[in-house]
Structure 1
Amino acid sequence: MRHNGRVLTIADAHAHIYPGKIAEKATASVGDFYHIGMNRIGYPHTLLESGTQAGIGRFLVCSVATKPEQARSINDFIAQKCGQYPQFLGLAALHPAQTDWAEEIDRAISLGLRGFKFHPDFQRFNIDDDSMLPLYRKVRETGLPILFHMGDDRYDYSAPQRLAHVLEEVPGLCCIAAHFGGYQRWSDAAKYLVGEQLYFDTSSSLWRLTPEEAVGLIHHFGADHMMFGTDFPMWEPRVELERFLALDLTEQEQDKILYQNFERLFGVTVGQPE
């Protein structure tokens, strides 16, 4: 994609995909949860097509296990789609109530998955529940990140303060705090969330934040710790990119957020879409 006379390299650090037989139902369920109309259906090929049209060269894909027994099949699906689409990097699903989490972490790594995803509001658990600390310590040993949905102000499960507590209890744990660290709880995110191994993404926030607020948060957290994300299929990649590029950022800040931090965190080259 060209912007202001230069070709942009872009990675999407937050996208959801679903198997074809449940994609429409799963997409509608997410829209109902947030009372927001979904822009697409979460088919893998639809993500690739719409993202490629927007100039995106890499996609971090995930899904959420709402029941413990779903994690294994979700991880098989994500790994299979990453094999089918080399532009995809996958995160493994885990559920806080599953008893085989240690084995599933090891299995996810053997499948080539590159981190883990939790949605505390869907899964109804407090991020900093004491029972989760052994799991987080196991993930810390792998060196891989956990992507947390953060901050819905209708619930307390994903409050930024809770993630701050986890980072105190499990120092060195690499985390990605989605939605600028706290969807609709951005002041709490700015107050509590800090750490060298803590990253943030821009997903599902630019439509609510003013450009000035978004830039203020980026400068507060540091452009070295931010990544661009669409939250597909909730948002259209092209539209989210337009929102991001409208922010008053330097070219250096844009490049860090659009792909350089992604490359550094995951050890990959983003490149241009084919």
Structure 2
Amino acid sequence: MNYRIIDCHTHVYPDKIATKAVESIGHFYDIPMELDGTVNTLLNISRQAGVDQCLIHGVAVDALHVRHINDFVIATVQAHPDRLMGFGTLHPDMEDPGKELDRMLRAGLCGVKLHPDMQKFSLGEARTDRLFAVCEGVCPMLFHTGDKRYQYSNPALIPPIMKKHPHLTLICAHFGGYSEWDDAVKCLADENVYVDSSSSFFMLGKERVRELIDLYGADRVLFGSDYPMWQMKAEKETLLSLGLPENDLQKIFSGNLLHLLGKE
């Protein structure tokens, strides 16, 4: 194995609120959280797992907190530039998403994360469209996608977005449809739509994971652990155990992400 490994899907929180934030996420998904959500723990477990870099995400539940969340992600990445990259966040209710996007990109972030289920907006709403417009051709967006409990991020909402914004680059988390994988595979055929492996292995057996990778194509799959939900080393080892060709593993572990970020 002579390639970099990058975890494209991690979340971190300021130490003083990490415990509360992680508990809140655990309650939202009704899943026990494996880790504490702090930056130091992320750095330590990624080293132990043999992961070279992590992409951290920010999510603001309302427009008022967007800048504050992005400032934390920016400061965290700047404190650990060799180990961390960052996606900031936007919200459809904010006054000028283009201005905030420009600010975060100039500060070193490289994309935008949206979690419609937690931010309480639909990817199909008219007010959300301006977020896609400011990111199209500028930077990738990563969405939490799918959850049978909600319709905010249903995979079926993605094709109309791509039709209107053909130069948008999307990463649809959780193999494109958390608990809705059959629908996701049918909906996410656009070559500019990638998927990540986060928070999926625990519900999918190895055979189904391998099948999804084959259906999407290794060129469109990224490795993600969803720290602090799962142990990064275990997620990495599961992927390695699937019997994928080395060339495909290189793409999934880092090549595809570096390509879409223009960092090859």
Cα distance in 2 between the residues matched to 1:96 and 1:26: 22
Cα distance in 2 between the residues matched to 1:217 and 1:141: 27
Cα distance in 2 between the residues matched to 1:263 and 1:99: 31
Aligned pair partner of 1:242 in 237, 243, 256 = 237
Aligned pair partner of 1:193 in 188, 191, 198 = 188
- Deviations 1:2-46 (CA, angstroms, capped at 9, x unpaired): xxxx45531101000111111111111001100001010111111
Aligned pair partner of 2:105 in 109, 119, 132 = 109
Cα distance in 2 between the residues matched to 1:108 and 1:100: 13
The answer to whether the 8 Å contact 2:174/2:198 transfers is yes
The answer to whether the 8 Å contact 1:204/1:235 transfers is yes
Shift of 1:102: 2.0
The answer to whether residue 63 in structure 2 is matched with residue 64 in structure 1 is no
Q: Structure 1: which amino acid aligns with 2:188?
A: L
The answer to whether the 8 Å contact 1:9/1:55 transfers is no
Alignment-derived partner of residue 222 in structure 2: 227
Cα distance in 1 between the residues matched to 2:44 and 2:262: 24
The answer to whether residue 216 in structure 2 is matched with residue 216 in structure 1 is no
The answer to whether residue 261 in structure 2 is matched with residue 266 in structure 1 is yes
TM-score by length of 1: 0.93
The answer to whether the 8 Å contact 2:137/2:167 transfers is no
Q: Per the alignment, in what secondary structure is the counterpart of residue 175 of structure 2?
A: coil
Q: Structure 1: which amino acid aligns with 2:120?
A: R
Aligned pair partner of 1:92 in 83, 88, 105 = 88
Instruction: Using the aligned pairs only, state the percent identity.
Output: 40
The answer to whether residue 53 in structure 2 is matched with residue 37 in structure 1 is no
Q: Structure 1: which amino acid aligns with 2:197?
A: T
Cα distance in 1 between the residues matched to 2:49 and 2:169: 29
Aligned pair partner of 2:199 in 189, 204, 213 = 204
- Deviations 1:52-85 (CA, angstroms, capped at 9, x unpaired): 1100001110121012111101111101111111
> Which range moved further: 15-24 or 247-256?
247-256
Q: Which runs of 4+ in 1 moved over 3 A?
A: none
Cα distance in 2 between the residues matched to 1:167 and 1:31: 32
Aligned pair partner of 1:146 in 141, 147, 172 = 141
> Which range moved further: 205-214 or 179-188?
205-214
The answer to whether the 8 Å contact 1:96/1:123 transfers is no
Structure 2 gaps of 5+ residues are none
The answer to whether the 8 Å contact 2:35/2:231 transfers is yes
- Deviations 1:181-212 (CA, angstroms, capped at 9, x unpaired): 00000001011111121111000001111111
Alignment-derived partner of residue 3 in structure 1: none
**What count of residue pairs does the alignment treat as equivalent?**
263
Q: Per the alignment, in what secondary structure is the counterpart of residue 14 of structure 2?
A: coil
Alignment-derived partner of residue 129 in structure 1: 125
Q: Per the alignment, in what secondary structure is the counterpart of residue 91 of structure 1?
A: strand
Q: Structure 1: which amino acid aligns with 2:160?
A: H
Q: Structure 2: which amino acid aligns with 1:62?
A: H
Q: Structure 2: which amino acid aligns with 1:121?
A: D
**Aligned residues: CA RMSD:** 1.2
Q: Structure 2: which amino acid aligns with 1:251?
A: E
